[in-house]
Amino acid sequence: MKTAFLFPGQGSQFVGMGKDIYEKYEEAKQIYDRASQITGSNIKKLCFEQEQAELNKTENAQIAILVTSLAIAEVLKSKKIEADMCAGLSLGEYTALIYSGYLSFEEGVQLVKKRGYFMQHYLPKEQFKMAAIMGIESRKVEEICTTLQKQGMFVVPANYNYKLQTVISGNEEAVEKAEILLKEKGAKKIIELKTSGPFHTQKLEKAKEAFEKELQKVKFETSKQMVIRNIDGKPYKKEDNMQQILANHMVSPVRFDREIAYMQNRGIDLYIEVGPGKTLTSFIKKENKEVSIKNVCSVEELEDLLYTIT
């Protein structure tokens, strides 16, 4: 059986995520404690006790999700459950890179802490919005965005989640106008996301420049573990300039639709979403109803996985 680990991105966070796993497994506790020591922040308190509004802030949500996902992955490793390949959505790509050994735990945690800070604080002083457009092809979403751009409005595709779901990002007025036009074009459902920044667009150019300086300080290792890139849905290669790819990642759309296609073509049988939420496995299920999917963010879900595959 071929297994893929899927690591969630921002928006999946909730207060209490990972708490019971932290309390039961020493491997998880060590991950939270190490991350707290590295960042100088109480990650356990942030994940388990913080108000939801505070947890939702980009600089908090990213590090909280990362550490929760890595803690769960560490417990899975102790149970001899490991991935043949990994993929993540936006932030989740960093989780995959740390899990797979491309990034050391210490440098990876520090990077994500800084990434979240830059993405929250290095934004233009405008009101932005992100919305998931469902039940319509990405080509039609692109057409509407292009039409509005020609009218001087800023709205672009930011995440290609699967064939019939694309997230758009832009100024509030432009996103709201796009929503109206896309409903007229046949969109079945539109959900506005819990993230407010213009993520994965050129509006994060200042954040990218600041983050790129931090990336240049980091040493990336080689790994036999396959990690699929968000920018094009292909695996990282030994010769890749990872600093440049991850800098561009901040201002480029996420092509999770292509990642799904790649994993399908490689014959993945079991997809495990490691961390909060069930977003990524829901994307997989939309494209292939026959594969097995599991989610792990609680002791109950972990024990269910163990029972299923052992």
Active site residues: 90, 200
Find out whether 116 and 58 touch, Cβ atoms under 8 Å: yes
Give me the DSSP letters along 76-115: HHHTT---SEEEESTHHHHHHHHHHTSS-HHHHHHHHHHH
Closest CA to 167 of 182, 152, 153: 182
- For the chain, percent helix, then strand, then coil, each to nearest 5? 50, 15, 35
Taking the C-alpha atoms of residue 7 and residue 86, their distance in angstroms, rounded to an integer, is: 8
Taking the C-alpha atoms of residue 255 and residue 230, their distance in angstroms, rounded to an integer, is: 5
**Contacts for 238 with CB less than 8 Å, ≥ 6 apart:** 222
- Residue 68 burial by Cβ neighbours in a 10 Å radius (0-12, 13-18, 19+): buried
Find out whether 87 and 6 touch, Cβ atoms under 8 Å: yes
Residue type present at position 259: E
Lookup: tokens for 147 = 């039409």
